[in-house]
């Protein structure tokens, strides 16, 4: 079982921010990444639809005989974790709880901001996860839908991104948050812009980084680390790979060589 790969899925290219952190922290592991590029975005879809997509993506990975599932997509994590745990007899790590945990440890004034897709914000999954750990922390959320296309366009530090960030974040800044959870796969690419807009007083929580730490912890506590490093990574997508290869290379910071197209529905 420890020899097996870890399965990671996302709605598309964004989950590569999580994969990148996993490659850094767990270079000995085999990884299988699935981007559901035929049906992206998940962030504007209903919970019912996202849950169905998540089950189909996870089923594909389970068929690859993975030892663990990582739901890299915040929108999918916010609606599907319990269902995936119940359906597949495997450890499942999502991105919500790790980010929530870090935010609770970092906040000094008990006011935490969360940004994500419309679906993630509407689900209130981060709010629930934070309140489960620290009921008194005040959570203020904002959907930032333009950040996803800006990151994919390579405009994460463009003046347009600054303008959008100012508009989206103003209500959270007004509430006096001292910690901001980047609750979407794409947002780590906007860190510089967000830091400039927010200034030094607000700490950013990168869910991708926190998730890779949780994966490492889960592997260790289940005795699952792979004994024979180094590991390899295989990539699958549900639409033609052209765009995934182009945009994904910049998300991952290295070229994506072998990407296969599959059908999962
Ligand atoms: N991966 C999604 C997330 O983290 C963002 C892109 C989408 O809407 O599918 O919520």
Query: Cα separation of 263 and 108, whole Å?
Result: 47
Sequence-separated (6 or more) residues with CB below 8 Å from residue 251: 13, 14, 16, 17, 20, 151, 189
In contact, 144 and 164? CB cutoff 8 Å: yes
- Which pTM was predicted? 0.96
Please provide the average confidence, as pLDDT, over all residues in the chain: 96
CATH topology of domain 96-207: Rossmann fold (3.40.50)
User: Which residue, among 104, 59, 52, has the nearest Cα to 75 in the 3D structure?
Assistant: 52
State whether CATH 3.30.420.40 applies to domain 5-94+209-261: no
The 10s digit of each residue's pLDDT in 235-259 is 999 999 999 999 999 999 999 988 9
pLDDT at 13: 97
Sequence-separated (6 or more) residues with CB below 8 Å from residue 57: 9, 34, 36, 76, 264
**How many CB atoms sit inside 10 A of residue 4's CB?**
17
pLDDT at 231: 83
Nearest ligand 1 atom, CA 76: 10
Query: Cα separation of 143 and 161, whole Å?
Result: 14
pLDDT at 30: 95
Ligand 1 touching residue 117 (CB < 6 A): yes
pLDDT at 220: 93
Across the chain, which has 265 residues, the per-10-residue mean pLDDT values are: 94 97 94 98 98 98 97 98 96 97 98 98 98 98 98 97 98 98 97 96 95 95 84 95 96 92 95
pLDDT at 26: 94
Ligand 1 touching residue 207 (CB < 6 A): no
Q: Where in the chain is the domain with CATH 3.40.50.1860?
A: 5-94+209-261, 96-207
Query: CA angle, 151 as apex, 110 and 84 as ends, to 5°?
Result: 65
Q: Which two tokens stand for residue 5?
A: 């790969």
The 10s digit of each residue's pLDDT in 148-190 is 999 999 999 999 999 999 999 999 999 999 999 999 999 999 9
Ligand 1 touching residue 193 (CB < 6 A): no
**How many CB atoms sit inside 10 A of residue 171's CB?**
13
pLDDT at 228: 77
Query: CA angle, 185 as apex, 126 and 66 as ends, to 5°?
Result: 95
């Amino acid at each position: 079982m420890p020899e097996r790969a870890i399965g990671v899925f996302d709605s598309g290219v964004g989950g590569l921010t999580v994969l990148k952190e996993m490659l850094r922290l767990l270079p000995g592991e085999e990884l299988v990444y699935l981007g559901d590029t035929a049906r992206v975005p998940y962030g504007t879809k209903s919970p019912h639809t996202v849950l169905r997509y998540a089950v189909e993506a996870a089923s594909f990975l389970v068929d690859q005989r993975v030892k663990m599932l990582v739901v890299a997509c915040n929108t999918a994590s916010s609606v599907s974790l319990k269902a995936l745990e119940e359906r597949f007899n495997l450890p499942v790590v999502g991105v919500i709880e790790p980010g929530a945990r870090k935010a609770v440890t970092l906040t000094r004034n008990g006011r935490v901001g969360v940004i994500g897709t419309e679906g993630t914000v509407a689900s209130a999954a981060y709010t629930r996860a934070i309140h489960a750990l620290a009921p008194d922390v005040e959570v203020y959320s904002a959907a930032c839908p333009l950040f996803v296309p800006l990151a994919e366009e390579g405009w994460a530090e463009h003046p347009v991104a600054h303008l959008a960030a100012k508009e989206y974040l103003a209500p959270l800044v007004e509430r006096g948050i001292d910690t901001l959870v980047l609750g979407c796969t794409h947002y780590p690419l906007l860190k510089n812009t967000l830091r400039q807009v927010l200034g030094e007083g607000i700490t950013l929580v990168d869910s991708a980084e926190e998730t890779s730490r949780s994966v490492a912890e889960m592997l260790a506590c289940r005795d699952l680390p792979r004994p024979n490093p180094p590991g390899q990574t295989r990539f699958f997508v549900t639409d033609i790979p052209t765009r995934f290869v182009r945009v994904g290379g910049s998300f991952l910071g290295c070229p994506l060589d072998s990407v296969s197209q599959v059908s999962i529905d």
